[in-house]
Structure 1
Amino acid sequence: MPQAGKGGIILYDGVCNLCNAGIWYVIRRDPQKLLHFCSVQTRKGEELAASVKLRQADLLRRFAFIDHDTGKVYRASTAALHVAKYLPYPEKLAYNLLVIPEGIRDFVYDAVAASRYPVFGRTDVCQRPTPDVLDRFEDRDELEKEGKASRVWK
């Protein structure tokens, strides 16, 4: 797990195609490798969720970000905006959207989340990252096991 002051961990739905695309986008835009990842469908994901008092069912509806710089856990649109602060410009500017009331931001977030499987699809297993980024996944040991994750990210 990253040390305090070094970014954080995104807890995401590992079978959601939209979520996986978002994780891959963050990987490409985070050259300092401050952000780490963990699928909530893995044992490690369940442990991390429990450690911050979240249930897997809640995380399948709204992802979470464990921010090591603040020591806080953010959910839904607030989590996305806190992730953005670790990315370079222009993505970093999205952090300023925190001025929009959370209720409005989460209304939009929930609308997208509710349609993500029908629109973007889902896989049967958590996707396995390529070896060059595997060290950024808290659940890498589980993802490397044969049969645990058969679809490889590109």
Structure 2
Amino acid sequence: MPEVSERAFSYRDDPRVPDFDDNKALFVFDGICVLCSGGASWIMRHDRDARVNFTPGQEKLGQSLYAHYDIEMDESYLLIANGHAYTASRGYLELCRILGGWWRLFQIFALMPERLRDRLYAIVARNRYRWFGKVDYCELLTQDQRRRLL
């Protein structure tokens, strides 16, 4: 899945999308998926400079962004950065760029063809509930992490 936005900040013109602080990147994740919530929690713990905001796809902001970009939450998370939306492997590479430092090491995966990266991503995304399970909504986030949600 390539970058999904046609025009930077197009969501600002969409009345379905609530206003939100887009000065930072926004990571929209599945709040009941163990892998997704656990991953968001892990990113929060390691994003010491709080460069990224978070929202579950089940919340109004997350739902409206998925609708705006015409993406099913089961297909991918969303990363909104500099007004553009990214999904699948490209989104993770962009997230590593945003976080900087040692995270940039993961950008070595950009050498792998995007089609192959995304095919692997799609296999995990389709099977994430079966392989990793579900939890109560945002159960894997600490109270401090829940305060970081938009």
Please tell me the TM-score bracket, short chain as reference: 0.7 to 0.9
- Give ranges in structure 1 of 5+ residues lacking alignment: 139-154
Q: Deviations over 1:38-86 (max 9, x none)?
A: 1111222212333x4234xx12221110013xx2110111111111123
Partner of 1:143: none
Query: Aligned ranges for residues 57-96 of structure 1 at < 5 Å?
Result: 58-68=72-82, 71-96=83-108
Name the CA shift for 1:103/1:124 in 2 (closer, same or farther; >3 Å): same
Bigger relative contact order, structure 1 or 2 (CA pairs below 8 A, ≥6 apart):
2
Q: How far 1:128 sits from its partner (Å)?
A: 7.1
d(CA) in 1 for partners of 2:40, 2:76: 14
Tell me the number of residue pairs that the alignment of Structure 1 and Structure 2 aligns.
131
d(CA) in 1 for partners of 2:102, 2:80: 22
Identity across aligned pairs (percent)?
A: 29
Partner of 1:142: none
What TM-score do the two structures reach when normalised by structure 2? 0.75
For the aligned residues, what is the CA RMSD? Answer: 2.0
Q: Structure 1 runs of 4+ off > 6 angstroms?
A: none
Q: Deviations over 1:16-47 (max 9, x none)?
A: 00001110110011011011111111222212
Partner of 1:53: 69
d(CA) in 2 for partners of 1:110, 1:3: 27
**Structure 1 contact 11–59 (Cα < 8 Å) conserved:** no
